[in-house]
Amino acid sequence: MINKSVKHKGVIFDLDGVITDTAEYHYLAWKKLADELNVYFDREINENLKGISRIESLEIILKKSDKFFSEEEKYYLADKKNEYYKEMIKRMTPKDLLPGVVDLIKELKDRGIKIAVASVSKNAKTVLSNLGLIETFDYIVDAEKIKNGKPDPEIFLNAAAGIDVEPKLCIGIEDSKAGIEAINRAGMVSIGVGNYETVKGADIVLKDLSDPLPILNLL
Ligand code: BG6
Ligand code: MG
């Protein structure tokens, strides 16, 4: 919820699809697996996987299959997808940052705003290293630090505690429906980027971060 008289002191970024386009690599890796399994999968279904853990994503994909998969088979398949994904992120460099990200981070740092990353990905630290951003953020929350994934607010509340800023003074940025819900439930201002239908529950929706004025106006 936006209270315009409040000066926000912290900004919490999701990683995949906000800082870099790994959301596309997640899609391509799932698509490869789904094709191998002869299971129908498209970009519309993929929108529901954004922000959701690896194994939960697989469960959603397998709903389109009439076959039974044991827990062991599911872990094997999730691992297989992750191998495809890891191959794709190997070649990432700082050139793979999405528009506006570098400038926004610099502006926030110049203004003394604390910044954090809140990602449910087990690959978050590898991606941040490849992007040259591992030392940039004041705090990083990934899958290791949380019990409940998005849309539970835990990951954003953990990030706020990590940068020592009250949740109501934080802004969260997300490209997923589950992530926007998590930010809203954490009592923060939510900024949605990317697919409009997916992030329409956000307080502010932006195409990307190349024009960050609506965010800077909240500081
Ligand atoms: C999220 C992505 O950031 O991380 C999801 O939006 C992904 O699509 C999730 O499933 C888990 O990622 P990983 O790297 O642990 O498989
Ligand atoms: Mg995301």
d(Cα 138, Cα 115) in Å, to the nearest integer? 6
Tokens of 202: 């956000």
Tokens of 114: 């604390």
* Pocket probe mutation, ligand 1, options 12, 14, 16, 87, max atoms within 8 Å of Cβ: 16
Burial class (CB in 10 A: 0-12, 13-18, 19+), 161: middle
Average pLDDT over residues 18-24: 96
Q: Where do the domains of the chain lie?
A: 10-21+95-216, 23-89
Protein residue whose Cα sits closest to atom 11 of ligand 1: 121
Residues, Cβ < 5 Å to ion ligand 2: 14, 16-17, 175-176
Examine the pLDDT at 84 and tell me if it is beyond 90: yes
Task: Give me the CATH code for the 10-21+95-216 domain, please.
Answer: 3.40.50.1000
Q: Tell me the pLDDT band of 4, cut-offs 50, 70 and 90.
A: confident
Q: Is 16 a catalytic residue?
A: yes
Q: Give the count of alpha carbons within 13 A of 10, CB side only.
A: 26
The model's pTM: 0.96
Residues 6+ apart with CB under 8 A from 152: 182, 185
Which atom of ligand 1 lies at the shortest distance from residue 50's CA? 6
Compute CA distances 140 → 15, 88, 143, 189, whole Å.
10, 22, 10, 19
> In this predicted structure, what is the pLDDT of residue 135?
97
Task: Give me the CATH code for the 23-89 domain, please.
Answer: 1.10.150.240
